[in-house]
Chain A
């Protein structure tokens, strides 16, 4: 790997590269899997993976049938978090509807709700919630609580003002959200999805590639030629680096076009990061294939690497939410570092000065993996 590449090695590298391209381009299914499938998946996942909770199907039980209960229900359902799916006559009926899955929340206004409020005795509004999805339940319950606490505060102020006194000063935090002011999920998730698809596609193709040569017997013929193992491996990886860069460019394009993902930073920097990332994922594939006797084993090896890598990357669950002993493992995970580069460059407009650590770590992991694969890959059949 070090030192100038001999002219003969260049010819050999080019031969492997050209052969790999011929085989890949000729295989339509592989081309589909490499280029089209990631695009389709990004679009589908981009729309499907959405942490925003809205349109929670909600039932209203208005036993009071007063002006205030009607007004409360109307305003609570107006902000989009809750979506009215009908009315029920009693709390029991609403509870049964929740059991049946016809709604996820129910607001129950007791009789005399208006009278209780006006009398100053205090009003209770019952909220029934389906707790199957903890995130959704928390958000729904939060929305209802916020609505009524603001309402209560307003009523208190009105009463104080009506009595001629000055109400206490208001305390109100005003959050200003940078980079993703709408708090949309897509700009955060789509770069992560791209990183995930890239690791899956490239790890599998490189793991299967060498295993196929072994299984088909072509490795035997190649091994008796004067090519050095490292040149064989690098030549086999190179076409997929090119394809990977094309795919990333396409994915960013689709993300910008469909999901309004900003490109605030330098795309060239992103491509350099992608190059380092591909070194790690293709290298991991090669390493897997050096310990696999055939394509089936390589396929299983691919799963054994990619699934834990995706789960422990911080894409699915925040790294800080993982148990302490598991967290250091994510430092070795190329997906984690690449997702940080992608989000940094695209969403924050971060430059190399902000992301140098991520680049260095990816480079170190990549070189280590490719070196390990080269050492493991002996010029031997058995």
Chain B
């Protein structure tokens, strides 16, 4: 292993410097659908980067492009200074795809052992790592259970363990918390933070805005492009619009009024009330328009969801 690392160092002179992941103008069409439309972003070494966006934004295609799994119509995907489909990158990258990707008819232990063999890990190394991964994922009691008999959360943790066996420098995760219960979800994020702490570069995609806040830096994707990028606190601080809760009034008439007002960037139900994003300085006028309907505006602290909904709406307008 030592020698292999040395050899790699020679092959990639800029190893250690430069971004861990780099997407430059990635484009890919699938028939009529444009999945990637000039997507560009970089992830620095040791960074936890979140790719956030609605379903169909192109997150999966972007991650597959960085894993070297798809042909690109244009642009360049690089990993650790090498082309994404370079064979030399394989041993340094881990991927956890969104859909089921382990052998359902093999047990937890057999899946781990299989991937350790394909990565050519020495037996002792495998034993040590598997023991630790099984411990942190708390899968040890289920070693003999078939993968298709695991719960959603347990399966995701097994997939994570399989992607981590070879201790990759870069980890790509495509919607890892999709279909996972809240407890497992929190555990998964705790693990990701732990890995990043240990120096790993992590790129994670998610449709959940609350998860975006857990990343060091996020990129908001829509229609195959990046709309917005930055550290979550900085992004919220730079938010130009205001967020309000609409209280009272008849729901249908209030919604009709909101739809009529261009300054309202986004409106979404929040329990009994409506949560809206309004262009800065337009709230007074809106409050006057809503007053006859018996509705009032109450200011709330803007969060990520407000920011992203408003930005996507603005982009699509």
> A223–B69 contact, CB under 8 A?
yes
Given A225-B90, A381-B69, A381-B70, A19 contacting B106 (CB threshold 8 A): yes
Residue of A nearest to B30 (CB): A382
A224 to B106, CA, bound (A): 19
| Residues of chain A from 28 to 67 with CB closer than 8 A to chain B in the complex | none
In the complex the two chains form, is A380's CB within 8 Å of B95's CB?
no
Q: Which residue of B lies closest to A235 (CB)?
A: B118
Q: Is B132 on the interface with A (CB-CB < 8 A)? A: no
- Kindly state the separation between the CA atoms of A23 and B110 in the bound complex, as whole angstroms: 11
Docked-complex contact A19 and B103, CB < 8 angstroms: yes
- What is the bound-complex CA distance between A222 and B114, given in angstroms? 10
The answer to whether B97 touches A217 (Cβ under 8 A) is yes
Q: A381 — which chain B residues lie within 8 A by C-beta?
A: 64, 69-70
Chain B window 183-210, contacts with chain A (Cβ cutoff 8 Å), 1 for yes, 0 for no: 0000000000000000000000000000
Q: Is the CB of A224 within 8 A of B117?
A: no
Once bound together, how far apart are the Cα atoms of A16 and B103, in whole Å?
A: 12
**Are B117 and A14 within 8 A (Cβ)?**
yes
Q: How far is the CB of A55 from chain B (nearest CB, A)?
A: 51
Decide if B91 is an interface residue (CB 8 Å cutoff): yes
- Once the chains are docked, how many angstroms separate the CA of A380 from the CA of B28? 14
Task: Select one of A11, A221, A382 contacting B120, CB under 8 A.
Answer: A11
Q: Within the assembled complex, what's the spacing in Å between the Cα atoms of A380 and B67?
A: 10
Q: How far is the CB of B83 from chain A (nearest CB, A)?
A: 12
User: A296 within 8 Å of B by Cβ?
Assistant: no
Given that A14-B117, A15-B114, A218-B102 are contacting pairs, would A224 and B85 also be in contact in the complex, using a CB cutoff of 8 Å?
no
How far in angstroms is the closest Cβ of chain A from B105? 5
Asked if A220 lies at the interface with its beta carbon under 8 angstroms from chain B, I say yes
The answer on a CB contact under 8 Å between B69 and A22 is: no
Residue-wise, chain B 57-72 has the 8 Å CB interface mask toward A (1 for contact) of: 0000000100111110
A26 at the interface (CB under 8 A from B): yes
Asked if A379 contacts B85 (CB within 8 A), the reply is: yes
- The reply on A249 being an interface residue by CB < 8 A is no
| Cα-based distance from A336 to B257 in the complex (angstroms) | 79
A226–B97 CB distance below 8 A:
no
Whole-angstrom CA separation of A18 from B117 in the bound complex: 10
Q: Which B residues are in CB contact (< 8 Å) with A350? A: none
Cα separation A11 to B99 with both chains bound (whole Å): 27
Find out whether the CB atom of B85 lies under 8 angstroms from the CB atom of A227.
no
B123 → chain A closest CB, angstroms: 10
Kindly identify, within residues 30 to 72 of chain B, every residue whose CB is under 8 Å from any CB belonging to chain A.
Answer: 30, 64, 67-71
| 29 CB < 8 A contacts A-B | A12-B118, A19-B103, A22-B105, A22-B106, A22-B110, A27-B105, A217-B99, A218-B102, A218-B103, A220-B69, A220-B101, A221-B97, A221-B162, A221-B163, A224-B68, A224-B90, A224-B94, A224-B95, A225-B90, A225-B118, A225-B119, A226-B87, A226-B91, A226-B120, A228-B87, A379-B68, A379-B69, A380-B70, A381-B64
Task: Report, nearest first, the 7 A-B pairs whose CB atoms are least far apart.
Answer: A15-B117, A226-B90, A221-B101, A8-B120, A217-B101, A225-B118, A224-B95
Name A residues whose Cβ lies closer than 8 Å to a Cβ of B.
8, 11-12, 14-16, 18-19, 22-23, 26-27, 216-218, 220-228, 379-382
Q: Beyond A19-B103, A216-B100, A221-B95, list 4 extra A-B contacts (CB 8 Å).
A: A12-B118, A223-B69, A228-B87, A380-B71
